[in-house]
Amino acid sequence: MCDSQFKHEHDDARLAQEMGNFSCVSSDCEFDEHTKGYDLDKAIFGLSEDRGYDSLSKLLSFSIKRFKQEGVTMEVTLGHHLCRPSPIGWILNGGTSLALAEVAAGLASFALCPKGSHPVGSAVSANHTSMAKLGEKLTVTATALHVGKTTHVVNVDITALDGRLISTARVTNTIISPTGTEGSAHLQKIAAAQAKAGS
């Protein structure tokens, strides 16, 4: 875990964050009419005062390629910090697959939420069907299967460039309103920022 390459990658990410250049959104990311103008970095990393933390989403090092109501696509290249050692070399950690699935499913729900609402994961199940090795680039695709007022069910497939299915997950998100009794002051601030950006 304290591998020198991981330290190098981690230090590079920290430097980018400190310089204010860290973004998980690809320069060629596709949006639709509903999602155009969303501040995805704010949705994923929080408000400006939260950006200095090494959150899990930052450490996952993904890039968002598509953010539409029809679905979300992310890409990630496997570094040591996303893998684990094995007799055949470094391979994708199953926990990484689950974390990527949760993030992608959350974004898929976020694209479908009315303003002022926010998705939180409430259940996830997954099957890891193939191994992926250190250095491979993977595609994470999330598509909503059920969109209700209070819950979304999202399917997430993680695939390799050669078409292999690496992992498939089913995520249930609960949709909450920050202005309701369960909403925290932090979520209310995020909702207010979203509303201001949309006006």
User: Does the domain formed by 4-198 have CATH 3.20.20.120?
Assistant: no
Local structure of 20: helix, strand or coil: coil
Which band of pLDDT confidence, cut at 50, 70 and 90, is reported for residue 133? very high
DSSP symbols for 148-195: -SSEEEEEEEEEETTS-EEEEEEEEEEEE-TTSTT--HHHHHHHHHHH
Q: What is the pLDDT of residue 17?
A: 46
DSSP symbols for 25-93: EEEEEEE-TTTTT--HHHHHH-SGGGTTS--HHHHHT-EEEEEETTEEEEEEE--GGGEE--TTS-EE-
Note the pTM of the prediction, 2 decimals.
0.80
Residue 14: pLDDT over 80: no
Predicted confidence (pLDDT) per residue in 93-102, tens digit:
999 999 999 9
Residue 184: pLDDT over 60: no
Residue 87: pLDDT over 60: yes
* Cβ atoms of 193 and 42 closer than 8 Å: yes
Predicted confidence (pLDDT) per residue in 42-58, tens digit:
888 876 666 667 788 88
Q: What is the pLDDT of residue 140?
A: 98
Q: What is the pLDDT of residue 55?
A: 83
Closest by Cα among 119, 128, 113 to 176: 119
Q: Cβ contacts of residue 188 below 8 Å, gap of 6+?
A: 178, 179
CA–CA dist 149, 158 (Å, integer): 27
* Cβ atoms of 119 and 79 closer than 8 Å: no
Residue 117: pLDDT over 60: yes
